[in-house]
Amino acid sequence: MDVRIMVCGLGNVGKAFVELLAERASDVEVRYALRLVLAAAVDIGGAAVGDSPDGLPAGPLLAHLRSGGSVEDFGEFARPGLTGAEAIDQAAAGALIEATPTNLTDGEPGRTHIVAALGRGMEVVSANKGPILLFHEELLELARQNRCGLHISAATAAALPTLDVARVCLAGSRILSVEGILNGTTNYILSRMCADGAAYETALKEAQQLGIAETDPGKDVGGYDTATKLVIIANCLFGPSFRLDDVPTVGITGVTPDDIARAGTDGEVIKLVGTAEFVDDEVRLSVAPRRLKKEHPLASVNGSEKAISYMTDTMDRITVSGGRSSPVGAAAAMLKDLINAYV
């Protein structure tokens, strides 16, 4: 089966996806009987569109981008000025990979791309958290109406299979609570503070030098990235009614070496935890640094790794940890979603 793919957004995650596509296409065809074809790639200045059955040559496109080129000047495939929505109408693709930058204000341009793709019955795989956070219910309804899928693993902690575990492995159980370390930057900083007594500023600078933390880490260290992922997870598991404003959020900037030392004296560690739990038959969400006993399954998750722990009524506690915190990890989650949409 041929799967014609359009990629919107060629930042780090989008390029990592195209690279995985080039590397794994033969393996995917053998293992899953899916021939993955890159039909179009869209970025800020335009697009490259491959109208033939073989689509765009992914390897040469990557080489062109690495040498400083752009999709809109990629030889015979170039379509300068072509927008994502226009490309969706023209490229004859069956699946959209949405990897444009996250916009938590209005979800654009990702929302426009996703709406256009679902309206055409395309499978949508999104790493973009903005449209999913703001318009989850609307997008799910559009997918139902057009009998296609909205797949968002990469928007909920990249390679960590947060939703896969809940939807597949916990099917039939009632989820009583969710606890997650959902941001690799903050976990790295707190891990360094716990292990070596480093000050927050020192650990942050080290994380930035290693490429773990952004130059402007405000959304991470303020807890907002964790809150965004928590809302998306909660909307998938408990019903699409939660907003970012529903989450009391405290970041890690106020955590001091003294706080870390006092916790250690009591046999505890401090982690930034996103929590969804039933309180009086109502789901409550929160994000804050928490002192965890060392036997807690999240307490031993260190460095830039992430984890999620589900408490259920029939299976007790199920915890999964790890998952690469990088563009490659996010791209791999998107490839997984794409394959699972068709097999």
Burial 132-170 (b: 16+ CB within 10 A, else e): bbbbbeebbebbeeeebbbbbbbbbbbbbbbbbbbeeeb
- Tokens coding 253: 């900037």
Phi and psi angles of residue 319, each rounded to the nearest 5 degrees, phi first: -125, 140
Which one of 229, 271, 293, 336 is the catalytic residue? 229
Q: φ, ψ for residue 259 (rounded to 5)?
A: -60, -45
Catalytic residue flag (residue 229): yes
Residues labelled as active-site residues = 229
